[in-house]
Every structure is written in structure tokens, then in C-alpha cells.
Amino acid sequence: MTAPLTVSVVVPVFNGAQYLAEAIDSLLAQTRPATEIVVVDDGSTDASLAVAQSYAERHGHVIVVTQPNGGASAARNAGIALATGDVLAFLDADDIAEPQFLAVQLGRLEADPALAGVMGAGRVFVEAGAPEPVWLAEQQRDTRARPRLMTMVVHRAVFSALGGFDPGLSHGEDTDWVLRAGEAGHRIDIHTEVLVARRVHHHNLTQDTQAVVRSQFEVLARRIRRKTEES
């Protein structure tokens, strides 16, 4: 009988002290526990590191590492380098994992060993007083559950073969990674069970709509260049 998959959850944080505890608590409350939770403090100047360390002192499988500020991709890549689980999951420090997040995703991977990864759906909630970004208003016209990259769980070996997230992208680095994975022949299953709650607040990077659009065009341009180079 094949042994159950182990999972490392990487949590990058930059000045997210006010939300980090709720994010970690949601991972500690999983119906199928994480093997380890790797919190990467990306040069925070608030109490993020102290919050993370307080969890590490109480929970032996919470690992904390700090680095100079390099952005979310660099922080995730640092966590990937430290992770020891068979598969990798990711949770932003201001988001909340539903209790069944890991159980559902790991179950799907174990049911189909040919999968490189699996992606579910997410919901969005707006913090009181926070501005509603344009992209959210557009998405809310569609009432169906939407697949979200933040729910992605992937075999660690795929990251070893393909490489990590591109630190040169300020937005869309997860989309860029999934596109590269597909081009390399790795299959990621997509379903619509809601597994993660994404928090919209004043300091989301995606509040900068112009930067988001520029990054989306850059991700698309990179894919076109790769296709051109192949032909």
C-alpha cells in the first residue's frame, strides 16, 4: 500500500502581522494536518516575525525563516528550498484556508498518481472599509465557484524540475508558473470546491490595478516568446 503523501505549506509574509495568526490557525485546524508549515518572513518591519516565532515555539512543525525583502516569489522560493514534504501548498499570510483544503487536494493527488498538481476554487471577502478592486466587481458577475491559483497543491519534484516562481514578476507569478508547467507536459487537475478564502484589504498588492494589468501582459508576452523560440 502506498504511503500517504506528506505536505509542506509555504506561507510568505511581509508586514502582515495583523493577519498572520489567522492564516496559521487555519492551517493548524486542517482536517488532514500539514506535515510542516514553513513561514518565510520577507524582511518585515512590523511584528510578523514575532508572530511567526510564537507559533514555532508552540508547534514543532511550524518552521520560521527570515530574509531581506525580495518579494513574494523570492519568499515562496525560499520556503520551497526548505520544504521536505512530498507536495507543496501555499497560503498567503492574509488569506484563510478552509478546514478541508489539504484533505481534498491531497486526496485528489493520491487518487491519480499521474497528476503533477491540483487546483480548487476560492472565495473572496472584503475587509470592512477596504476599497473593492475593479477585478472583484467583474468576477462577482459570475456566481459560479472560480478556480484559483492560491489553492494549488503540487508535487515538490515538479518544482525541482521546472524551477520556482519568477522574482522578476510583481504580479501573476503563479499564473506564469502554471503556464510553464503545462508547456513542460505537467498535468494540473482543476475542480470547483471552495478551499481558500482570499481577503481583500487596503494593502493588497492587487489594489494597484495598473501594475496587475502590466504583469498580466508580461506573463502573456513571456509565453508568446517561449512559443516563438520553440517553433
Domains delineated in the chain = 7-230 (3.90.550.10)
Structure letter (DSSP) for residue 126: E
Task: Count Cβ atoms within 10 A of the Cβ of residue 216 and give its class: 0-12 exposed, 13-18 middle, 19 or more buried.
Answer: middle
How is 27-46 classified by DSSP, letter by letter?
HHT-SS--SEEEEEEES-SS
Residue matched to cell numbers 506535515: 35
Digits of tens for pLDDT over the chain (231 positions)? 678 999 999 999 999 999 999 999 999 999 999 999 999 999 999 999 999 999 999 999 999 999 999 999 999 999 999 999 999 999 999 999 999 999 999 999 999 999 999 999 988 877 766 555 554 554 554 444 566 778 999 999 999 999 999 888 877 888 889 888 998 999 999 999 999 998 875 655 444 556 655 666 565 666 656 667 665
**Reported pTM:** 0.84
